[in-house]
């Protein structure tokens, strides 16, 4: 086994001889036998990250709107210094909030795709195809090119 961190070849050892990386966890991950505790901790981490994106997008939208409204108010009433600064900060925070919301939506999309893949991989998700229902074999990739080459071969003979 080669260490993914430094590339040193190691033979059945728990730690890399070159850099000290834990190879037992890496070999378990490669073989699909990660401990349940580690997998559940990773799922909890991703879930908290997902919720953080949602929370930050809502909080950013509220704060950005308040900054923008305060900047517009100071611009209209003429009171206070630098009303343009407040408007710019409000717009930047709103853009950041929009970005966080887009990341949140993307994680929802990826999460739903992963759930669909898991459902399809389960025993109930597979549909059994009856071989007798297949009437003809699928077309070959080279089927149409062969037909085009045949007349050229006849002309050359």
What is the distance between the alpha carbons of residues 93 and 97, in angstroms, rounded to a whole number? 6
Query: pLDDT value at position 62?
Result: 94
- Return the structure tokens found at 140: 């070959």
The answer on pLDDT for 81 being more than 60 is yes
Residue ranges per structural domain of the chain: 1-36, 44-122
- Rounded-to-integer distance, Cα 107 and Cα 47, Å: 10
Strands (E), the chain: none
Choose from 30-34, 40-44, 66-70 the range with maximum mean pLDDT. Answer: 66-70
Write down the residue that tokens 């909890």 correspond to.
44
Q: For 97-109, what is each residue's pLDDT tens digit?
A: 999 888 888 877 7
Specify the 3-state DSSP secondary structure of 15: strand
Lookup result for tokens 């006849």:
154
Helix (H, G, I), strand (E, B), or coil: what is residue 129? coil
- Closest of 24, 29, 4 to residue 14, by C-alpha: 24
Q: Residues with Cβ < 8 Å from 6, sequence gap 6 or more?
A: 16, 18, 19, 21
Inter-residue contact 28 to 55 (CB < 8 Å): no
Q: What is the largest CA-CA distance in the chain?
A: 94
């Amino acid at each position: 086994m080669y260490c993914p961190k430094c590339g040193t070849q190691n033979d059945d050892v728990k730690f890399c001889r070159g850099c000290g990386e834990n190879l037992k966890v890496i070999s378990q991950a490669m073989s699909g036998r990660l401990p349940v505790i580690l997998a559940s901790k990773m799922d909890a981490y991703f879930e908290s990250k997902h919720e953080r994106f949602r929370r930050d997008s809502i909080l950013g939208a509220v704060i950005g709107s308040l900054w923008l409204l305060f900047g517009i108010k100071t611009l209209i009433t003429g009171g206070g210094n630098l009303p343009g600064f407040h408007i710019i900060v409000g717009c930047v925070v709103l853009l950041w909030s929009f970005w966080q919301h887009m990341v949140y939506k993307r994680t929802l999309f990826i999460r739903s795709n992963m759930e669909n893949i898991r459902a399809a991989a389960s025993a109930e998700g597979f549909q059994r195809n009856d071989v007798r229902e297949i009437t003809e074999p699928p077309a070959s990739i080279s089927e149409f090119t062969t037909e085009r080459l045949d007349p050229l071969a006849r002309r050359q003979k």
